[in-house]
């Protein structure tokens, strides 16, 4: 078996309230609600609502919960708190030692990250990357100290996986974080514009035993309380996810997941305490999911790799 994870930041399970929840405005795959209702899933699809708080006081945050996903370990419990933004030193240590990507590659399985980044950005972070003709961006020296790697890139780097550059996106060997290239193009990056369906075809072309794609625009829209941006992010990701599922190989399990709630409640700029829905597609048996950390352990389970 193989595993593909489509990770989208900041999408939780909230009330079916059109005034505050943009997930009510269309039948997205992630239009799943706290009363148990929600969009019917394609064949083999199963909804698993999981906890994001780990019983730790405070609102769940990206750094600690994404570390939990990519290590299969309860990072907020281990640190005793939630950590926002980018991994701090203890979280970096967890990712270096317990990245699920490192675990599976050390067991002989292959892994790849579909996202493509500007080469200059990866170089500034000191992350291993694939070849690139140019840098695409130059980071001014005064900003270098502010740059921090994400949990996803650290999980891949712990396994020695080379990250994709925008050359890969231009050569149909990688995807921009926004799926269709529109957001990257607005930032003056030279990238192709693609339909979600074309992006899904590229995703499967480059897939390995373990394949990851990361999308974070829904979380940005939630923080901005921007309904139009939320609908754009949700609809684009949904079209991409549906195309990925429609062309899923029989030997692959697809997991769609988030790290915490946010966009499902535009009445606030902050993250929510809501659970998130993990959606699984494929014929595979695995233990019940209870927290977001179980996404990582489930991936290892499906791949037949012991943590």
What pLDDT does 142 receive? 85
**Domain assignment of residue 229, given as a range:** 2-302
Q: What whole-number distance in Å separates Cα of residue 82 and Cα of residue 76?
A: 5
- Looking up residue 198, the CATH number of its domain turns out to be 3.40.720.10
Tokens linked to 135: 């840098």
Tokens linked to 262: 């946010």
Query: CA dist 163 to 112, 123, 156, 294, Å?
Result: 8, 11, 8, 25
Q: What whole-number distance in Å separates Cα of residue 160 and Cα of residue 104?
A: 12
What pLDDT does 195 receive? 98
Query: CA dist 170 to 118, 175, 183, 296, Å?
Result: 11, 9, 15, 30
Q: Does 36 reside within a domain?
A: yes
Residue listed under structure tokens 């083999």: 44
What pLDDT does 105 receive? 98
Q: How many domains does the chain have?
A: 1
Tokens linked to 305: 């790799």
Q: Does 307 reside within a domain?
A: no
What pLDDT does 31 receive? 98
Q: Could you tell me the mean pLDDT of each successive run of 10 residues in the chain, 307 residues long?
A: 98 97 98 98 97 98 98 98 97 98 98 98 96 93 89 98 98 97 90 97 98 98 98 98 98 98 97 98 94 98 92
Q: Does 252 reside within a domain?
A: yes
Nearest to 300 by CA among 47, 162, 101: 101
Q: Does 138 reside within a domain?
A: yes
Strand, coil or helix: 175: strand
Q: Does 76 reside within a domain?
A: yes
Q: What whole-number distance in Å separates Cα of residue 105 and Cα of residue 198?
A: 28
What pLDDT does 306 receive? 86
């Amino acid at each position: 078996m193989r595993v593909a994870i489509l990770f989208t930041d900041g999408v939780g399970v909230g009330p079916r309230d059109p005034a505050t929840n943009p997930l009510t405005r269309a039948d997205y795959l992630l239009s799943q609600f706290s009363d148990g209702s929600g969009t019917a899933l394609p064949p083999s699809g199963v909804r698993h609502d999981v906890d994001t708080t780990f019983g730790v006081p405070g609102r769940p945050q990206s750094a600690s919960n994404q570390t939990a996903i990519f290590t299969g370990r309860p990072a907020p419990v281990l640190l005793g708190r939630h950590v926002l933004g980018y991994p701090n030193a203890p979280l970096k240590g967890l990712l270096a030692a317990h990245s699920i990507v490192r675990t599976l590659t050390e067991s002989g399985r292959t892994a790849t990250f579909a996202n493509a980044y500007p080469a200059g950005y990866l170089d500034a972070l000191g992350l291993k990357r694939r070849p690139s003709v140019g840098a695409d961006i130059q980071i001014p020296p005064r900003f270098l100290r502010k740059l921090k790697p994400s949990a996803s890139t650290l999980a891949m780097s712990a396994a020695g996986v080379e990250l994709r550059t925008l050359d890969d996106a231009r050569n149909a060997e990688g995807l921009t974080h926004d799926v269709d290239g529109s957001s990257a193009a607005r930032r003056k990056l030279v990238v192709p514009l693609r339909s979600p369906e074309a992006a899904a075809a590229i995703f499967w072309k480059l897939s390995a035993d373990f394949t990851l794609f990361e999308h974070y625009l829904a979380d940005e829209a939630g923080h901005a309380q921007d309904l139009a941006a939320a609908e754009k992010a949700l609809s684009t990701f949904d079209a991409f996810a549906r195309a990925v599922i429609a062309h899923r190989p029989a030997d692959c399990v697809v997991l769609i997941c988030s790290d915490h709630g946010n966009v499902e409640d535009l009445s606030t700029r902050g993250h929510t305490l809501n659970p998130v829905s993990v959606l699984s597609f494929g014929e595979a048996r695995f233990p019940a999911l209870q927290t977001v950390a179980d996404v990582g352990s489930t991936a290892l389970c499906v791949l037949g790799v012991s943590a």
